[in-house]
Copies of this chain bind each other. A is one copy, B any other.
Amino acid sequence: MNDSREIELDGHIIDSGIMEHVLDSILDMGGDFEILEFSVGKRKTDTSYARIRITGTGADNLDSIISTLHRHGARLVDSDDVKLVPAEGNRIVPKGFYSTTNYPTEIRINNEWIPVEQIEMDCLIVVSPDKQSARATPMSKLDKGSLVVIGEHGVKIHPPERSRSHEEFEFMGGSVSSERPTVTTIRKIAREILDTHKKGLKVALVGGPAIIHTGADAAAASMFHEGYIDILFAGNALATHDVEFNLYGTSLGMDIRTGELVSAGHKNHLYAISEIMRAGSIKRAVEIGVLNSGIMYECVKRNVPYVLAGSIRDDGPLPDVITDSMIAQDEMRRYVPEIGMVLMIATMLHSIAVGNCLPSYVMTVCVDINPSTLTKLMDRGTSQAIGVVSDAGAFFPMLLEQLHDLQKK
């Protein structure tokens, strides 16, 4: 029969559920299988190996099955070099292009496996003209003539195997918890921040204006001041609220110390932007003593890089905001390679945008008062995220307390 092909799998394929997903997918898609070889790891340290012949209902169906299995880490036995075609125009993807996962990925070229750099999901793989390197490339940056990988031939991915170690974050792996002990959860996140730094990696905050609105500005600023957070991704709203609060004590006109709206409070929002406009930039406003505290102040003082991406609902915006969304995306991508952990707090838009650019091995913690924000983020592919249903106003002070407590020990 033509419509069959052999794949192989190895690693902890039983206890990671990979074997299950593979057989399941074949049956779900109407295919059939025969297990040709199966050696099972007898002990927990041993790995297993399987060789399976897949039969489809036709050539298209078989392609479809192979394509799905590939995403579970299966390799074609008769694997060969990747196939490449040049892009016919800017931002025009070639038919049959290989669409990336956010898992570590290798491609075979000239009989050698090379890693795909800057992996992120839903990209194309573009091979350099000299065929010495490859890179995950978003559609928006695909140029005419770029060499694009076609199909799964010669592509190998490494889906995460479930962690065997209890020292790692125990509830890694895509769950939303509103019925967990709050302090216990926050302590684990605190420990993870310290561990990320120990590994020499950076912690990024993706934050929305609710951080200031719910009264957590000072605690969040301390996170930067004390070096727990190394990078900031946000929008005009977070930065403006932070400046407004630190200049006038209000957030969109609400007095944070009393919770009451002050008269004509929204003007403070526009005054805050104007003060920064007059200085020329946030950095300059800090230097000339206009802005003396808060999240943005700490970022400037500690040289924490920040990317402020514009959106269509912005007032102002601040001069530091990148209003073109494609340029803002690129700017965010620059920092991704150094990041080991991301805290996403109370912003769906920025969280999804950053999540799109992250490799699967970046620890991602998402905090929102609204469980559906968390669910959406995971549905969109950031399946490694851990969701915590909480509000920023409670989360940051408790997190800081846990960090201090852990540091004491």
A interface bracket (residues with beta carbon within 8 Å of B): 35 or more
With an 8 A cutoff between CB atoms, is A4 at the interface? no
With an 8 A cutoff between CB atoms, is A64 at the interface? yes
With an 8 A cutoff between CB atoms, is A78 at the interface? no
Protomer copies: 4
B-contacting 9-mer, from A194-202, A207-215, A220-228: A207-215
A38-B40, A352-B313 known; A99-B264 Cβ under 8 A: yes
Q: In the complex, which of the residues B216, B329, B375 contacts A312, with contact meaning CB atoms closer than 8 Å?
A: B329
Q: Is the CB of B14 within 8 A of A23?
A: yes
Q: In the complex, which of the residues B170, B271, B273, B389 contacts A260, with contact meaning CB atoms closer than 8 Å?
A: B170
Q: Mark A242-277, 1 if CB is under 8 A from B, else 0.
A: 000000000000101111101110110111011001
Q: Is the CB of B42 within 8 A of A35?
A: yes
Q: Mark A347-381, 1 if CB is under 8 A from B, else 0.
A: 01110110010000000000001111001000100
Q: Which residues of B contact A29 (CB under 8 A)?
A: 263
A325-B314, A329-B312, A370-B370 known; A181-B266 Cβ under 8 A: no
A112 CB to nearest chain B CB (Å): 26
A-B contact pairs, 9 of them (CB 8 A): A19-B20, A38-B38, A91-B319, A97-B270, A139-B316, A180-B259, A183-B393, A312-B353, A371-B371
A: residues with CB less than 8 A from B are: 14-17, 19-20, 23-24, 26-27, 29-30, 32-35, 38, 40-44, 64-65, 67-68, 88-93, 95, 97, 99, 122, 138-140, 162, 164, 166, 170-171, 176-185, 188, 210, 213-216, 254, 256-260, 262-264, 266-267, 269-271, 273-274, 277-278, 309-317, 319, 323-329, 332, 348-350, 352-353, 356, 369-372, 375, 379, 389-391, 393-395, 397-398
